[in-house]
Amino acid sequence: MNMIQAINSAMDVMMERDPTVIVMGEDVGFFGGVFRATAGLQAKHGKNRVFDTPITECGIIGVAVGMGAYGLRPVPEIQFADYIYPALDQLVSEAARLRYRSAGEFIAPMTVRSPFGGGIFGGQTHSQSPEGIFTHCSGIKTVIPSTPYDAKGLLIAAIEDNDPTIFFEPKRIYNGPFDGHYDTPATSWAGHKDAQVPTGYYRIPLGTARIARAGEALTILCYGTMVHVVEDTVRTLGIDAEIVDLRSLVPLDIDTIEASVKKTGRCLIVHEATRTSGFGAELSAQVQERCFYHLEAPIARVTGFDTPYPHSLEWAYFPGPVRIREAINKIMKD
């Protein structure tokens, strides 16, 4: 399966297992979603369980909060992560706090799916990576897969979770892994080991990172599309780097991160979101607090810039192989 098919399969499996699972959002029903992630679900499960909503992100999430409080497990889709901002009040003030403010009487077991990130020339309104905003809000879990296999297992775990979860899907790798070389032909998930996705039920617990590549010389922390860009860059350089695919930002598998950095003595953080207050800053702080006496060089970050995502200069903004290679060479010399 490619990532779109894996995500579709996860929702299908959960709707078969649990009659309280509801899929909702703009164009998710008859049309099957702009990326086809919900294709066929309405025909199979009916219009009462897979339905289109008005173009109102605040309303979509507000309704989902109410559904969760009354015992359903909604899976709302925000068509692009850039348009999740109108829903922030419902997510932060209502969904994230419902369990706390009701002393556990009510919960908001909702999984908000949303394509995010650049690499498709979406410009400033279809390329943003707002994950850092949600990792700052207590009560919300934030999950980002990098492979079809992980996408299905993590999405099933998120739907089963009793807390609200933001499930960001890296749209640049929906149809195949991306090594950051935009001027070469696109590749497909076909034949990739991480595209071997079981058709039935399985779950990957939230808060468990994946060692995408074992190594001894350097730890690289990344997630989503950046996992594949980093893997190709490391392979090209021939450096013995350990690549940690976080998969889940909140909850964070800090034990795996700590063990890796203590082993290698160096740490590079790569993400596509803007640099200031990006999730890399939190990672850097936690690594410094836990691994200071093991570090042999300053922690480094390769990120997006503190600007809107540019259309014409997309590949200057995108943390590609050139910038990652420069950072690796520097950190290994320090």
Which residues are known catalytic residues? 126
| Beta strand 241-245 pairing with 218-222 | parallel
Q: Is the peptide bond before 251 cis (omega within 30 degrees of 0)?
A: yes
Residue 24 DSSP label: E
Q: Are 229 and 187 in contact (CB under 8 A)?
A: no
Q: Tokens in use for 81?
A: 């992560």
Q: How far apart are CA 262 and CA 249, in angstroms?
A: 20
Torsion of CA 283, 288, 291, 293, to 10 degrees: 160
Choose among 320, 305, 309: nearest CA to 183. Answer: 320
Q: How far apart are CA 168 and CA 209, in angstroms?
A: 16
Q: Tokens in use for 272?
A: 């596509």
Question: In a 10 Å sphere around its CB, with 0-12 CB exposed, 13-18 middle and 19+ buried, how is residue 215 labelled?
Answer: middle
Residue 201 DSSP label: -
Q: Tokens in use for 277?
A: 């207050």
Q: Tokens in use for 118?
A: 């650049």
Q: How many CB atoms lie within 10 A of CB 33?
A: 22
Residues 112-146 as b/e (b if ≥16 CB within 10 A, e otherwise) read bbbbbbbbeebbeebbbbbbbbbbebebbbbbbbb
Q: How many CB atoms lie within 10 A of CB 102?
A: 12
